[in-house]
């Protein structure tokens, strides 16, 4: 068996030991004679799996008391509606900071449920930098301020936490949660789909401060009502059980490897290999402002875009896949989440050097 270096933005590469353990436990989980997929979500076996996944996530992210952890469905695009459905009712309006395609989508969806103020946008600069907080036009009467901590498509990432005073900060962390330490106490709500750093698609993690529960609009579907889900331990409806199980295994693996500090160190080192090469190359370039570059998703362009297909084919032949950039940005994109080993990034840079020699 040969495993590829998979640079997919998500669903993305998972740690091999996690996949092996899941394979070993597929038919018979811990002597129960059944697969996790076949368990009742109300049985003691699954309840223990669910509780352990939550406990590990709380430990890894150092989630303080006073926050609920919910395992929901609908993904981050679902949350674009679920967040305003639950939170905007407090004042009827919300601030959005637009730093790329994902936060732009979030703002657009929220406008169905409340008054949206675009507090800042990086669109004029083609989303290659995060607008400085001193330029944000925040509304003190907003129910919350929404950001996307890492724009998966454009490759910009916050390396600082905005200060929104008494207005709760809400972050879409789909593509960088669990990649570095965060101070959860600075946020009112954090959400993310699991399929980058936490597990397979199908489960959405929501970390929400207790005082934000209970403001849902009357039209909010009950399955998406945070308060109802919190009161029912995320089991108001049938949760995505298998995805939660894998998320738990990923958390266990991350903990064994040293937790958030170790992940951050590993991710900084990996991204440096790629950015250092991009900065030294006259053939490949990354257009993002240095201080805002993503450690998770690295978009880059070839000097001659007519060679894009040749590049992708060459990479594939060397066991490196899913490097094609998003259609809105073009070029290439290497997604290098926690589970991408540094060897994968080194192999990519090695190939880029060869390619530049041949075509540069
Ligand atoms: N937000 C961000 C930052 C993302 O990267 C993605 C998925 N790539 C989404 C939202 C949408 O997630 P989903 O398709 O799981 O709803």
Tokens of 341: 């080993």
Per-residue pLDDT, averaged over 230-242, amounts to: 97
- CA–CA dist 286, 271 (Å, integer): 12
Mutational test site, ligand 1, from 156, 193, 322, max ligand atoms within 8 Å of CB:
193
- CA–CA dist 199, 195 (Å, integer): 5
Provide the pLDDT for residue 195: 98
Contact 41, 241 (CB under 8 A): yes
Provide the pLDDT for residue 11: 98
Contact 114, 143 (CB under 8 A): yes
CA of 267 to the centre of ligand 1 (A): 20
State the binding site for pyridoxal 5'-phosphate: 102, 152, 172, 195, 237-238
Provide the pLDDT for residue 189: 99
DSSP SS3 for 25: coil
Catalytic site residues? Answer: 102, 172, 196
Please report, rounded to a whole number, the percentage of residues in the chain having pLDDT higher than 70: 100
Per-residue pLDDT, averaged over 181-201, amounts to: 98
The alpha carbon dihedral of 233, 238, 243, 249 has a sign of positive
- CA–CA dist 188, 345 (Å, integer): 35
- CA–CA dist 139, 127 (Å, integer): 23
Per-residue pLDDT, averaged over 69-98, amounts to: 98
State the binding site: 42, 102, 152, 172, 195, 237-238
CATH fold match for the domains 17-256 and 260-359: no
pLDDT of 34-58, one tens digit each?
A: 999 999 999 999 999 999 999 999 9
DSSP SS3 for 67: strand
pLDDT-derived band at 162, boundaries 50, 70, 90: very high
Residue of the nearest CA to atom 2 in ligand 1?
A: 174
Provide the pLDDT for residue 215: 95
Radius of gyration of the chain (CA): 21
Contact 355, 13 (CB under 8 A): no
Where does ligand 1 bind, in terms of residues with CB under 6 Å?
A: 9-10, 75-77, 102, 148, 152, 172, 174-175, 193
Per-residue pLDDT, averaged over 286-293, amounts to: 98
pLDDT for residue 265 is more than 90:
yes
Per-residue pLDDT, averaged over 140-148, amounts to: 98
User: Angle at CA 352, nearest 5°, toward 346 and 355?
Assistant: 145
pLDDT for residue 155 is more than 90:
yes
The phi, psi pair for 287, rounded to 5°, reads: -95, 5
pLDDT-derived band at 306, boundaries 50, 70, 90: very high
Provide the pLDDT for residue 102: 98
Domain boundaries in the chain?
Answer: 17-256, 260-359
Query: For all residues of the chain together, what is the average pLDDT?
Result: 98
Tokens of 37: 């997929």
Fold of 17-256: 3.40.640
Provide the pLDDT for residue 82: 98
- CA–CA dist 35, 141 (Å, integer): 50
CA of 291 to the centre of ligand 1 (A): 23
**Which atom from ligand 1 is nearest to the alpha carbon of 195?**
15
Provide the pLDDT for residue 1: 78
260-359 belongs to CATH 3.90.1150.10:
yes
Please report, rounded to a whole number, the percentage of residues in the chain having pLDDT higher than 90: 99
**Which atom from ligand 1 is nearest to the alpha carbon of 9?**
8
């Amino acid at each position: 068996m040969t495993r590829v270096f998979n640079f997919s933005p998500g669903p993305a590469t998972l740690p091999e030991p996690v996949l092996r353990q899941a394979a070993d436990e597929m038919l018979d989980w811990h002597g129960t004679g059944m697969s996790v997929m076949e368990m009742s979500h109300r049985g003691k076996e699954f309840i223990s799996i669910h509780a352990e996944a939550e406990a590990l996530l709380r430990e890894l992210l150092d989630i303080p008391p006073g926050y609920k952890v919910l395992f929901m469905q609908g993904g981050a695009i679902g949350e674009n509606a679920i967040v305003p459905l639950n939170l905007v009712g407090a004042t009827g309006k919300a601030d959005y900071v637009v730093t790329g395609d994902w936060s732009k989508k979030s703002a657009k969806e929220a406008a169905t449920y409340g008054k949206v103020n675009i507090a800042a946008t990086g669109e004029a600069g083609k989303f290659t930098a995060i607008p400085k907080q001193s330029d944000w036009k925040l509304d003190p009467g907003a129910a919350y301020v929404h950001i996307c901590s890492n724009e998966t498509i454009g490759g910009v990432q916050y390396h600082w936490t905005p200060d929104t005073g008494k207005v709760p900060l809400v972050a879409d962390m789909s593509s960088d949660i669990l990649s570095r330490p965060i101070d959860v106490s600075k946020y009112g709500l954090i959400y993310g789909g699991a399929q980058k750093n936490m597990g397979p698609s199908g489960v959405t993690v929501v970390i929400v401060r207790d005082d934000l529960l209970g403001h849902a609009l009357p039209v909010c579907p009950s399955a998406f009502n945070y308060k109802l889900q919190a009161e029912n331990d995320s089991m108001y409806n049938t949760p995505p059980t298998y995805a939660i199980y894998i998320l738990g295994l990923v958390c266990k693996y991350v903990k064994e490897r040293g937790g958030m500090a170790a992940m951050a160190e590993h991710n900084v080192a990996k991204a440096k290999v790629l950015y250092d090469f991009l900065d030294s190359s006259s053939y490949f370039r990354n257009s993002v402002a240095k201080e805002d570059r993503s450690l998770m998703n690295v978009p880059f362009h070839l000097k001659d875009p007519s060679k894009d297909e040749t590049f992708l084919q060459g990479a594939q032949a060397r066991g490196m896949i899913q490097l094609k950039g998003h259609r809105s940005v073009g070029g290439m994109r290497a997604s290098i989440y926690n589970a991408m080993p540094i060897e994968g990034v080194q192999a990519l840079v090695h190939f880029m050097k060869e390619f530049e020699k041949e075509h540069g």
